[in-house]
């Protein structure tokens, strides 16, 4: 839907605007995702990590003319035709505009909250009802104070049912979301400890969540949860409840009578208002049984027939909670998103695609299936798709399906080719021609795009290192929020980003305005430049033989002695270069690399006698900042560094930056952040000092190849080191020391996690395989095995073999497939 800027201004109690009839159809909070700038209203949000006001000039140059701001910079008033809607709180203004939009709809709206399962229940309700109703739903898990208003704004003239998630992490948040969503139907999935840290207890959090349902006609929830029942009673919502229960003596209208689990599916028998029926669910876990029951209850309340429910439940598809990034053949990068196929999720996926490829790269390819059940005419729908693709600098679009093929005339501005089916695309062989492209696979499950992914993905064995890019961003922003606004962050991406993959990590951090990267050697920097990284890069251990790479790729070297300094000056002068940036390393006690205090006079003499190089920063490295026992030594290092940095600064006629804090220093000595800090292991979720608030980034996992049942007295593995003093079940897993699993973990020194069970590694670790004991446990061939991750800390694993997490992470072999994802 489209409103005039004057209508929106009136909502925000702003009396006068320029060009009052200007249309507004898009709300924007991220300056990097401009689409149709002439109809965009940008909300300049101030957060702990950023300030949207910094991007007003940039957006104006892109054609945006309408802005909601908390402060007005004087120079903006000279911009022609600009509208600056001045408010006290830009986020609250966004929420008011979404509320204004919501009030134009008199339709059923389902709101879902709870500690777990919100996104799955939302998607399964959509899968059950989407063919019968035109549904507008939250993209992915847009359930926050920012995500909810952006989701509700997607309601349009064709919407027959709204379906939105709502999540909170702080008290008093849900009341604001209730006003935006204004649900008529509530679904409460469950109550648990997720995001509990800001609440006094579970009861407080439960009561807060129930604020979402104060004006609902009905609340769908489980009966028999003591805490929920108590809170429903306290808020006078019990009389509105439509409950389901496992207790067949309950008065709930929907009862679970029996659950029969087979190998790959479950049969659930229900009683609804006394009438029995059975559904076949293509999942067997308890959480899926609970989630599908909430979904069925919602469908029943909306008078969906039992027959339709039975048909749809049998066809339910897993909800992929993330966007995957994988290496493809021929140096391609594959962004795999078959989570849902609608215009809103396409916007999100295209934005992510842009983060994974070089800016304005001509080799961005979109492979897109028909978008089903959009509620729009095909012409209007695919015109929007074409505009989005054009805005995202897509170099080629490949459409699959009859509907998109019939509208190919709309894609005249983009190189394109269309196929009626996935089979036709595969048979064409065009996928063999993909080379050095960033490819977005975006299709509904019906089109089986996993077949395309299998063809173009680089083949590796089943041992995988999952890298959570959202966790990387969380850790980056977490530390950014603890910095002074002007302090720059250098993100360490040496050693292939501590084993996580330097290109992918650098791309996401560059997109989110990281100030600097640091690598160990020039070759690492060259790789990043070739991947499209334009952010400044420091090379910490430059070599004379690598000077050409430094100059050609504009990599800024650390200079730590006179040999390197003199050689670099000579080479820069030979090339006719001036003011090339360098970073001077001082030795304050680490005694590894760096100039000593007595070197300063000669260092200044050399620097002042030439114009080829210019000192960008000076820095030192703390030897033991993670240890309280050495705080006196750390303090001495910092004091000495300040003295040396001041001497260097006094001897130069231009300003230089100073930095000494590594990850542990950032955590323990934030008052010494100076001009820059160097964020290393903490970026990857491992606190050097025990700081809370970081998220795990990497999960190393593999699978069980075979299970054997052995008798007491037999042995396992090379050297017969795995002695058995009892009958035992032994599983062979697909990982060995060639994958980076240290042999020190063998012979019961290390453990792995299988289906929630911590089990020992038995016998010697082999090159490609290892063995674990799983006696008495419900574990089968093909099950997933976790070597380290969220539930099995890499810190704890490192302690088992008397090493540090750095070594465990950087030891993961390059043959282990990396999969990057965003949730």
Residue 344 sits in a domain of what CATH number? 3.90.190.20
Above 80 in pLDDT, residue 361?
Answer: no
At 418, the pLDDT band (50, 70, 90 cuts) reads very high
pLDDT, tens digit (0-9, with 9 covering 90-100), for 565-599: 999 999 999 999 999 999 999 999 999 999 999 99
Looking at 458, 493, 510, which one is the last position of a domain?
A: 458
653 and 768 housed in the same domain: no
Element (H, E) at 707: strand 698-710
What is the domain-level CATH number for residue 120? Answer: 3.40.1190.10
**In this structure, are strands 770-773 and 757-762 parallel, antiparallel, or unpaired?**
antiparallel
Strands (E), 493-607: 516-519, 537-539, 556-559, 580-585
185 and 230 housed in the same domain: yes
Q: What is the mean pLDDT of residues 255-280?
A: 93
Task: Summarize the annotated binding site as residue ranges.
Answer: 592, 767
Q: Is residue 153 part of a domain?
A: yes
Q: What is the DSSP string of 313-374?
A: HHT------SEEEEEBGGG-EEEEE-S--SHHHHHHHHHHHHHHS-TT-S-EEEEEEPPPS-
Q: Please give the Cα distance from 435 to 821 (Å, whole number).
A: 22
φ, ψ of residue 728 to 5 degrees: the values are: -150, 155
pLDDT, tens digit (0-9, with 9 covering 90-100), for 382-402: 999 999 999 888 999 999 999
pLDDT, tens digit (0-9, with 9 covering 90-100), for 401-416: 999 999 999 999 999 9
Please state, as a whole number, how many other Cβ atoms lie within 10 Å of the Cβ of residue 391. Answer: 16
What is the domain-level CATH number for residue 54? Answer: 3.40.1390.10
pLDDT at 367: 95
Residue the block writes with tokens 């940008």: 42
The answer to whether 625 and 659 have CB atoms below 8 angstroms apart is no
Above 80 in pLDDT, residue 362?
Answer: no
Q: Percent of the chain having pLDDT more than 90? A: 78
Task: Summarize the annotated binding site for substrate as residue ranges.
Answer: 592, 767
What residues are paired with 43 via a beta bridge? Answer: 68
Range ranked top by mean pLDDT from 175-189, 223-237, 382-396: 175-189
Element (H, E) at 276: strand 275-281
76 and 188 housed in the same domain: no
pLDDT at 508: 92
Is-catalytic flag, 142? Answer: no
Displacement of CA 435 from its chain's centroid (Å): 26
Looking at 684, 710, 738, which one is the last position of a domain?
A: 684
Q: Is residue 66 part of a domain?
A: yes
77 and 115 housed in the same domain: no
Q: Is residue 240 part of a domain?
A: yes
The answer to whether 771 and 732 have CB atoms below 8 angstroms apart is yes
736 and 653 housed in the same domain: no
Q: Is residue 690 part of a domain?
A: no
At 181, the pLDDT band (50, 70, 90 cuts) reads very high
Choose the catalytic residue: 347, 494, 585, 701.
494
Q: Please give the Cα distance from 206 to 116 (Å, whole number).
A: 13
818 and 788 housed in the same domain: yes
Q: What is the pTM for the complete model shown?
A: 0.78
SS3 583: strand
189 and 238 housed in the same domain: yes
What is the domain-level CATH number for residue 813? Answer: 2.40.37.10
SS3 240: helix
Q: Please give the Cα distance from 554 to 703 (Å, whole number).
A: 43
Q: Is residue 513 part of a domain?
A: yes
Choose the catalytic residue: 265, 314, 718, 780.
718
φ, ψ of residue 620 to 5 degrees: the values are: -145, 175
Tell me which of 161-170, 266-275, 450-459 is least confident. 450-459
297 and 149 housed in the same domain: yes
Q: What is the dihedral of CA 271, 275, 279, 285, to 10 degrees?
A: 0
For 582, the token pair is 């360098």
Q: Please give the Cα distance from 125 to 127 (Å, whole number).
A: 5
What is the domain-level CATH number for residue 611? Answer: 3.20.20.10
Could you give the C-alpha distances from 525 to 400, 561, 592, 619, in angstroms and in order? 39, 21, 22, 20
Q: What is the mean pLDDT of residues 189-200?
A: 74
Domain that holds residue 226: 105-314
pLDDT at 691: 85
Q: Is residue 750 part of a domain?
A: yes
At 461, the pLDDT band (50, 70, 90 cuts) reads low
pLDDT, tens digit (0-9, with 9 covering 90-100), for 470-515: 999 999 999 998 899 899 999 999 999 999 999 999 999 998 889 9
142 and 240 housed in the same domain: yes
For 335, the token pair is 């962004």
Q: What is the mean pLDDT of residues 518-527?
A: 96
At 321, the pLDDT band (50, 70, 90 cuts) reads low
15 and 67 housed in the same domain: yes
Could you give the C-alpha distances from 663 to 95, 398, 667, in angstroms and in order? 37, 45, 6
SS3 559: strand
Q: Is residue 319 part of a domain?
A: no
Is-catalytic flag, 800? Answer: no
414 and 515 housed in the same domain: no
pLDDT at 575: 93
Higher pLDDT, 199 or 747: 747
Q: What is the mean pLDDT of residues 33-53?
A: 88
Q: Is residue 99 part of a domain?
A: no
109 and 146 housed in the same domain: yes
pLDDT at 769: 96
For 95, the token pair is 């929420």
Tell me which of 329-343, 684-698, 726-740 is least confident. 329-343
pLDDT, tens digit (0-9, with 9 covering 90-100), for 111-156: 999 988 999 999 999 999 988 899 999 987 789 999 999 999 999 9
What residues are paired with 788 via a beta bridge? Answer: 700
Strands (E), 25-179: 26-28, 40-43, 66-69, 83-86, 109-113, 135-137, 161-165
Looking at 287, 314, 341, which one is the last position of a domain?
A: 314
Number of structural domains in the chain: 5
């Amino acid at each position: 839907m489209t409103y005039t800027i004057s209508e929106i201004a009136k909502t925000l109690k702003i009396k006068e605007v320029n060009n009052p009839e200007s249309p507004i159809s898009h709300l924007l909070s991220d300056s990097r995702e401009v689409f149709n700038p002439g109809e965009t209203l940008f909300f300049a949000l101030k957060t702990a990590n950023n300030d949207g006001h910094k991007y007003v000039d940039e957006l104006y140059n892109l054609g945006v003319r309408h802005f909601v701001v908390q402060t007005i910079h004087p120079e903006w008033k000279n911009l022609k035709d600009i509208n600056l809607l001045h408010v006290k709180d830009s986020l609250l203004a966004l929420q008011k505009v979404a509320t204004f939009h919501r009030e134009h709809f008199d339709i059923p709206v389902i709101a879902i909250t709870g500690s777990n399962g919100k996104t799955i229940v939302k998607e399964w309700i959509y899968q059950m009802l989407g063919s019968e109703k035109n549904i507008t739903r939250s993209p992915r898990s847009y359930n926050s104070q920012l995500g909810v208003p952006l989701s509700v704004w997607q309601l349009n003239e064709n919407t027959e049912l709204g379906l939105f998630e709502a999540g909170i992490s702080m008290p008093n948040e849900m009341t604001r979301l209730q006003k935006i969503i204004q649900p008529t139907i509530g679904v409460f999935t469950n109550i648990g400890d997720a995001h509990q840290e800001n609440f006094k207890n579970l009861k407080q959090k439960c009561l807060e969540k129930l604020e979402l349902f104060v004006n609902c006609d009905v609340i769908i929830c489980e009966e028999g949860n003591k805490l929920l029942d108590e809170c429903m009673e306290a808020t006078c919502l019990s009389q509105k409840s439509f409950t389901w229960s496992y207790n067949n003596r309950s008065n709930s209208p929907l009862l679970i009578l029996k659950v029969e689990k087979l190998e790959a599916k479950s049969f659930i028998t229900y009683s609804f208002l006394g009438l029995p029926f059975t559904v076949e669910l293509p999942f067997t876990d308890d959480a899926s049984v609970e989630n599908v029951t909430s979904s069925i209850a919602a469908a029943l309340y909306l008078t969906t027939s039992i027959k339709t429910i039975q048909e749809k439940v049998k066809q339910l598809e897993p909800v992929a909670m993330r966007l995957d990034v994988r290496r493809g053949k021929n140096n391609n990068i594959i962004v795999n998103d078959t989570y849902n196929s609608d215009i809103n999720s396409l916007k999100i996926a295209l934005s992510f695609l842009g983060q994974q490829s070089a800016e304005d790269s001509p080799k961005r390819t979109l492979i897109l299936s028909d978008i089903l059940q959009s509620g729009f005419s095909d012409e209007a729908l695919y015109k929007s798709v074409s505009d989005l693709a054009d805005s995202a600098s897509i170099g080629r679009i490949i459409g699959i399906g009859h509907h998109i093929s019939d509208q190919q005339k709309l894609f005249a501005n983009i190189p394109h080719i269309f196929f009626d089916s996935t089979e036709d695309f595969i048979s064409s062989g065009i996928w063999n021609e993909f080379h050095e492209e960033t490819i977005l696979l975006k299709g509904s499950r019906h089109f089986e795009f996993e077949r395309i992914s299998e063809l173009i993905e680089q083949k590796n064995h089943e041992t995988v290192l999952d890298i959570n890019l959202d966790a990387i961003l969380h850790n980056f922003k977490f530390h950014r929020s603890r910095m002074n606004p002007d302090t720059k962050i250098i993100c360490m991406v040496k050693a292939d980003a501590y084993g996580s993959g330097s290109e992918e990590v650098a791309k996401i951090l560059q997109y989110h305005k990281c100030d600097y990267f640091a690598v160990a050697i020039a070759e690492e920097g060259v790789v990043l430049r070739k991947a499209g990284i334009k952010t400044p890069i420091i090379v910490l251990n430059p070599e004379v033989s690598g000077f050409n790479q430094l100059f050609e790729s504009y990599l800024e070297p650390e200079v730590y002695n006179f040999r390197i300094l003199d050689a670099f000056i000579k080479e820069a002068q030979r090339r006719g270069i001036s003011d090339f940036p360098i970073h001077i390393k001082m030795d304050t006690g680490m005694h590894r690399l760096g100039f000593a205090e007595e070197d300063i006079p000669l260092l200044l003499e050399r620097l002042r006698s030439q114009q080829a190089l210019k000192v960008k920063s000076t820095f030192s490295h703390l030897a033991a900042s993670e240890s309280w026992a050495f705080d006196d030594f750390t303090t001495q290092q910092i004091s000495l560094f300040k003295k040396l940095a001041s001497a260097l600064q006094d001897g130069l006629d231009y300003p230089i930056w100073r930095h000494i804090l590594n990850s542990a220093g950032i955590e323990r000595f934030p008052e010494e952040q100076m001009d820059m800090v160097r964020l290393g292991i903490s970026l990857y979720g491992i606190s050097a000092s025990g700081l809370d608030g970081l998220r795990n980034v990497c999960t190393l996992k593999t699978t069980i190849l075979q299970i054997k049942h052995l008798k007491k007295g037999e042995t396992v593995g090379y050297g017969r080191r795995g002695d058995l003093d009892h009958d035992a079940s032994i599983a062979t897993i697909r990982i060995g020391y060639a994958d980076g699993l240290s042999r020190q973990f063998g012979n019961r020194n290390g453990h792995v996690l299988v289906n929630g069970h911590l089990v020992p590694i038995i016998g010697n670790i082999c090159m490609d395989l290892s063995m674990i004991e799983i006696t008495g446990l419900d574990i089968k061939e093909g099950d997933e095995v976790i070597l380290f991750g969220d539930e099995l800390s890499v810190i704890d694993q490192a302690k088992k073999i008397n090493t540090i997490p750095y070594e465990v992470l950087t030891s993961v072999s390059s043959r282990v497939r990396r999969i990057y994802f965003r949730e």
